[in-house]
Amino acid sequence: MTASISDLLAQLKAPGTFAARLSAPAEDLDIEVTGVGPLRFPISPTVAGKLRGVARPSPFGLREQTLHDPSVRNTWEIAPSRVKIAARRWKPALAAHLRTLQAELGIPEEREIEAVFDKLLLYEEGQFFKPHQDSEKSDEMVATLVVILPSAYSGGALTVEHRGEKKHFRRLANQNTDLSLLAFYADCYHAVSPIKRGVRVALTYRLSLRNHAQGGRPLTPSDLVDRLTDSIREHFAVPVRRRYSQSEPAPPERLVYLLDHEYTQRSLSWSHLKNGDGVRVAALRTAAERLDGECFLALADVHEVWTCEYDDWEEYGGSFGWDDPEDEADETDEYTLGDLLDSDIALHHWLDAQGKPIEGVPGEVSLAELHLTRPSTDLAPFKSDYEGYQGNYGNTVDRWYHRAAFVTWPRDNTFALKAQASPQWAVDELLALPRGDTAALEAKITALLPHWPRTAGAVEGARFFARLIKLSTRIHDPALAREWLSPLGAHRLQNQAMRRDLVTLVDRHGLPWARDLFSDWAERPHWATPPLASLLTDLCEALCASQRPPCEALSRWLLEREAKTARERCVTALTQQEPWLDLDVFAPGSTHLAHVLAAAAAVSTPEILDDLTTSLLDGDQRFPTAFFVQLSQACVASSPAFRAQLAGSRLHRTCVERLDAVLKAPVRAPDDWTLTHPLPCTCADCKVLSRFLHAPDTEHDWPLNKERRLHIHRMIDGAQLPVLHTTRRQGSPYVLQLRKDASLFSRERAYRAHVKATLSALRALHAR
Ligand SMILES: O=C(O)CCC(=O)C(=O)O
Ligand SMILES: [Fe+2]
């Protein structure tokens, strides 16, 4: 059994810790503040008062901004321009202290630390600084140094937190005489608890790594690297099922290892990884390179959704309260996490092995790719959002974390990964391959298939699909060509070049292959896929013009298939409640039929018209007049070729008869309010409604309880009858008031006019 990557990496302890302290005599520090004079230690309350006289309230940096908020930070600060420190003795003394602290923080000896003085801070009684991260003001900044000057005070403990682990630094026993130097990694949250008595004076420094040159990689025990190599090999060998995917289980394409420290775009670099991250990445990279893996660093945005138990939740700030060990304040979390419901990780800001930014790699991380030694819950979220009760899930909380990751994959996977981020790029690359090398092309295409339907299917734009089908004509393997074409869809065969490519394919792979391809496309329609019907004429023409037998056969098969679907659409429309004098119910089906008939006429396949006529006129269904009106309209608007074929046919004669009958019926007299329309329901109430419609009456007041009123409302609306129906909310039960309205006349006039125009167009077909 190979060990898990996380377990192996957990054995690599960080060289050093995230926060360290030392104490030192104060005599090497000669310090003078403009307007106050030289500071003598311990700093007296009088001098502290003078310092306050030249200080200003501190702002604090929150992410990219600088804010003034005394509830977060309540201290005085003095700018470096007012503070003069004699370099002669302090410089070598500070350098020596830094070497000690550097070793404790696990920063390799060969890296040189540079300290830049930032400011002088003064905390008086009650002043504090709540948990925060220091903004990393330069690319090289790795840590913060605080030098607490000798003075008498209590409270004012500094707490530093890293990945759930906290270190408390209380004042030194000899705080009156000695300096206290504290250094911690810049991504650590830290806070100063309120001063109880006295004053606390501190200098802060930014610590940067100087010699940028890639100092050798931290060494890793070679047996561990061997075992890690085995585990990585196994990671890329064992197939796993992908979440939400129907495709066959496959080995992960990448390995993503989440680092422990936080990094910003500026601070992420191979040479500046913070303590434990440095050794683990070195080990992973050495192992990955043995396997010819490509290696990257990236920033990782982690988002998790948890169920949670709610207890008195407050905004952020409450959950990371004072940690004054002298107070022994008990710590309570405001909510307790339950189950992880969902998580997603997005990688961005990629750096390659040389540290150069790269683009075009998919950001989304799958569970199968992921390894980590510390779960995100150990970290302080960058942001969290509490959601009240969420149905089945109860309360939930969303948390976001800023992490970073080491990523590696076998060099052979690079093409497939980049293709996921940009299918367009991949198609262009493949088209640029030397024409004759089918084996190389097919190997590359095979590597893309697992993600191809999803990634290529999401692309918008005709150019891409034109190139996709063009490339498919260079694939010899029929099954591969079919899978490659699956994201295309028949509705996208919009231009002649694409249809010519289709002809080439059908001619090469044969009719059964082509039928399967079109069936794939029909089975997996995009929700907004436009029907193929409007393209049918062009498609069949292109297929038949080739005079290749499989293409001609495909044209026929498509016509028959589309004729069948069109007829089914019309039959389905029959089952819907038919509105009074409505011309829309059969519109989609009739238009579809007309497209099929036009295509059949274009490629001289007259049997389609005969077959359809028989099935429409002699089938079990009786189509109402509205259907023939719609069909006639679609036919007269269709292609000249089809109109010529229709003229004098049985379908033509039937349409003429049915439309003629409409016009032969007597025109409604101006005072005739009777109305005949079949209702789909025969209940007692609907019979009453029908009687009222038939009758010359225009009004009917009908006491009815709620349920029955609702039924009648629905009947009238469903049939779009020219009857107003309102409820008079008086008495018991309320009264349903039915009123026939004048649209009875206007709608009928419009209908007759429409039928008349269509009929004369139908009759004109003979004249040609
Ligand atoms: O006063 C201290 O010990 C810490 C000061 C600090 O965190 C800061 O200036 O950002
Ligand atoms: Fe700070």
The closest residue, in CA terms, to atom 9 on ligand 1 is: 204
Bridge partners (DSSP) of residue 159 are: 168, 191
**Residue 613 is inside which H or E element, if any?**
helix 607-617
Q: For residue 367, give both structure tokens.
A: 């569970």
The answer to whether 379 and 163 are in contact (CB under 8 A) is yes
Q: Tell me the residue type at 369.
A: E
Best probe residue, ligand 1, of 182, 204, 206 (max atoms within 8 Å of C-beta): 204
Higher pLDDT, 504 or 224: 504
In whole angstroms, what is the distance from residue 590 CA to residue 628 CA? 9
Instruction: Kindly state the average pLDDT of the residues 247-258.
Output: 89
Q: Is the peptide bond before 42 cis (omega within 30 degrees of 0)?
A: yes
Q: Tell me the residue type at 400.
A: W
Instruction: Looking at the CA of residue 182, tell me the nearest atom of ligand 1.
Output: 3
Q: How many residues does the chain have?
A: 768
Q: Report the pLDDT value the prediction gives residue 596, as an integer from 0 to 100.
A: 93
Query: Residue 203 CA: which ligand is closest?
Result: 1
Best probe residue, ligand 1, of 144, 151, 153, 184 (max atoms within 8 Å of C-beta): 144
The answer, yes or no, to whether residue 317 has pLDDT greater than 60, is no
In whole angstroms, what is the distance from residue 617 CA to residue 621 CA? 8
In whole angstroms, what is the distance from residue 404 CA to residue 300 CA? 5
The answer to whether 160 and 145 are in contact (CB under 8 A) is no
Centre of ligand 1 to C-alpha 277, Å, is 25
Centre of ligand 1 to C-alpha 146, Å, is 7
Centre of ligand 2 to C-alpha 26, Å, is 23
The answer, yes or no, to whether residue 69 has pLDDT greater than 80, is no
Name the strands in the sheet holding 37-38, side by side, starting at the edge strand that comes first in the sequence: 37-38, 31-33, 83-85
Best probe residue, ligand 1, of 130, 192, 203 (max atoms within 8 Å of C-beta): 192
The one-character DSSP state at 490 is G
Instruction: Looking at the CA of residue 190, tell me the nearest atom of ligand 1.
Output: 7
The answer, yes or no, to whether residue 689 has pLDDT greater than 90, is yes
Centre of ligand 1 to C-alpha 29, Å, is 19
Alpha-carbon Rg for the chain in angstroms: 40
Query: Residue 133 CA: which ligand is closest?
Result: 2
Closest-CA residue to 631 (of 569, 679, 579)? 569
- pTM for the full predicted model: 0.66
Query: Residue 204 CA: which ligand is closest?
Result: 1
Query: Residue 127 CA: which ligand is closest?
Result: 1
Centre of ligand 1 to C-alpha 205, Å, is 10
Bridge partners (DSSP) of residue 256 are: 370, 407
Name which of 348-352, 573-577, 591-595 the model is least confident about. Answer: 573-577
Q: Provide the percentage of residues in the chain whose pLDDT is more than 90.
A: 60
Q: Tell me the residue type at 557.
A: W
Centre of ligand 1 to C-alpha 149, Å, is 13
Query: Residue 180 CA: which ligand is closest?
Result: 1
Centre of ligand 2 to C-alpha 233, Å, is 43
Q: Tell me the residue type at 604.
A: S
Instruction: Looking at the CA of residue 77, tell me the nearest atom of ligand 1.
Output: 9
The answer, yes or no, to whether residue 62 has pLDDT greater than 60, is no
Q: Which CATH number fits domain 684-742: 3.40.50, 3.30.1370, 3.30.70, 1.10.3470?
A: 3.30.1370
- Cβ burial, residue 723 (10 Å; 0-12/13-18/19+): buried
Centre of ligand 2 to C-alpha 70, Å, is 15
Q: How far is CA 95 from CA 81, 172, 293, 610, in A?
A: 22, 22, 40, 99
Q: Which string of b and e fits 405-432 if b means at least 16 CB within 10 Å?
A: bbbbbbeebebbbbbbebbeebbeebee
Average confidence score pLDDT of the chain: 87
Domain 19-105+112-209 of CATH type 2.60.120.10 = yes
The closest residue, in CA terms, to atom 10 on ligand 1 is: 134
Closest-CA residue to 448 (of 425, 421, 417)? 417
The answer, yes or no, to whether residue 205 has pLDDT greater than 60, is yes
Instruction: Looking at the CA of residue 158, tell me the nearest atom of ligand 1.
Output: 3
**Residue 24 is inside which H or E element, if any?**
strand 19-25
Question: Got the DSSP string for 671-716?
Answer: T--------S--SHHHHHHHHHHHSS--EEEEE--HHHHHHHHHHH
Instruction: Kindly state the average pLDDT of the residues 737-745.
Output: 94
- Ion ligand 2 neighbours (CB, 5 A) are 134
Q: For residue 453, give both structure tokens.
A: 């339907």
Query: Residue 188 CA: which ligand is closest?
Result: 2
In whole angstroms, what is the distance from residue 48 CA to residue 46 CA? 5
Best probe residue, ligand 1, of 60, 121, 172, 184 (max atoms within 8 Å of C-beta): 121
ipTM above 0.95, yes or no: yes
Centre of ligand 1 to C-alpha 129, Å, is 7
Centre of ligand 1 to C-alpha 144, Å, is 9
Instruction: Looking at the CA of residue 60, tell me the nearest atom of ligand 1.
Output: 10
- Please report where in the chains the tokens 């591969």 appear, as a residue: 480
The answer to whether 360 and 425 are in contact (CB under 8 A) is yes
Question: Got the DSSP string for 129-164?
Answer: EEEE-----STTEEEEEEEEPSB-EEE--EEEEETT
The answer to whether 275 and 106 are in contact (CB under 8 A) is yes
The answer to whether 239 and 250 are in contact (CB under 8 A) is yes
> What residue spans define the domains of the chain?
19-105+112-209, 222-410, 422-525, 531-537+546-665, 684-742
**At 11, is the pLDDT very low, low, confident or very high (cuts 50, 70, 90)?**
confident
The answer, yes or no, to whether residue 315 has pLDDT greater than 90, is no
Name which of 54-68, 292-306, 442-456, 508-522 the model is least confident about. Answer: 54-68
The one-character DSSP state at 760 is H
Centre of ligand 1 to C-alpha 60, Å, is 10
Instruction: Looking at the CA of residue 121, tell me the nearest atom of ligand 1.
Output: 1
Q: Provide the percentage of residues in the chain whose pLDDT is more than 70.
A: 91
Bridge partners (DSSP) of residue 57 are: 76
Q: Report the pLDDT value the prediction gives residue 692, as an integer from 0 to 100.
A: 95
Higher pLDDT, 532 or 597: 597
**At 530, is the pLDDT very low, low, confident or very high (cuts 50, 70, 90)?**
low
Q: Which string of b and e fits 320-348 if b means at least 16 CB within 10 Å?
A: bbbbbeeeeeeeeebbeeeeeeeeebebe
The answer, yes or no, to whether residue 327 has pLDDT greater than 70, is no
Helix 587-602 / helix 625-636 crossing angle, nearest 10 deg: 40
Instruction: Kindly state the average pLDDT of the residues 76-94.
Output: 93
760: CB partners within 8 A, 6+ apart: none
In whole angstroms, what is the distance from residue 523 CA to residue 517 CA? 10
Output the ligand 1 site: residues, CB below 6 A: 121, 129, 134, 146, 158, 190, 192, 202, 204
Centre of ligand 1 to C-alpha 299, Å, is 27
Centre of ligand 2 to C-alpha 239, Å, is 47
Query: Residue 171 CA: which ligand is closest?
Result: 1
Centre of ligand 1 to C-alpha 204, Å, is 7
Centre of ligand 2 to C-alpha 10, Å, is 29
402: CB partners within 8 A, 6+ apart: 262, 299, 300, 301, 302, 382
**Residue 753 is inside which H or E element, if any?**
helix 743-767
Question: Tens of pLDDT along 664-684?
Answer: 999 999 999 999 888 888 999
Centre of ligand 2 to C-alpha 99, Å, is 21
The answer to whether 639 and 602 are in contact (CB under 8 A) is yes
Instruction: Looking at the CA of residue 75, tell me the nearest atom of ligand 1.
Output: 1
Q: Is the peptide bond before 733 cis (omega within 30 degrees of 0)?
A: yes
- Cβ burial, residue 596 (10 Å; 0-12/13-18/19+): buried
Best probe residue, ligand 1, of 190, 195, 200 (max atoms within 8 Å of C-beta): 190
SS3 462: helix
Best probe residue, ligand 1, of 129, 168, 181, 201 (max atoms within 8 Å of C-beta): 129
Pseudo-torsion of CA 38, 43, 48, 53, nearest 10°?
A: 10
In whole angstroms, what is the distance from residue 447 CA to residue 452 CA? 9
Q: Tell me the residue type at 45.
A: P
Q: Report the pLDDT value the prediction gives residue 346, as an integer from 0 to 100.
A: 95
Query: Residue 199 CA: which ligand is closest?
Result: 1
729: CB partners within 8 A, 6+ apart: none
Closest-CA residue to 651 (of 635, 639, 663)? 635
Query: Residue 159 CA: which ligand is closest?
Result: 1
**At 47, is the pLDDT very low, low, confident or very high (cuts 50, 70, 90)?**
very high
Instruction: Looking at the CA of residue 118, tell me the nearest atom of ligand 1.
Output: 9
Helix 423-431 / helix 414-421 crossing angle, nearest 10 deg: 130
Best probe residue, ligand 1, of 67, 77, 146 (max atoms within 8 Å of C-beta): 146
Question: Got the DSSP string for 233-249?
Answer: HHHTTS-BPPTT--SPP
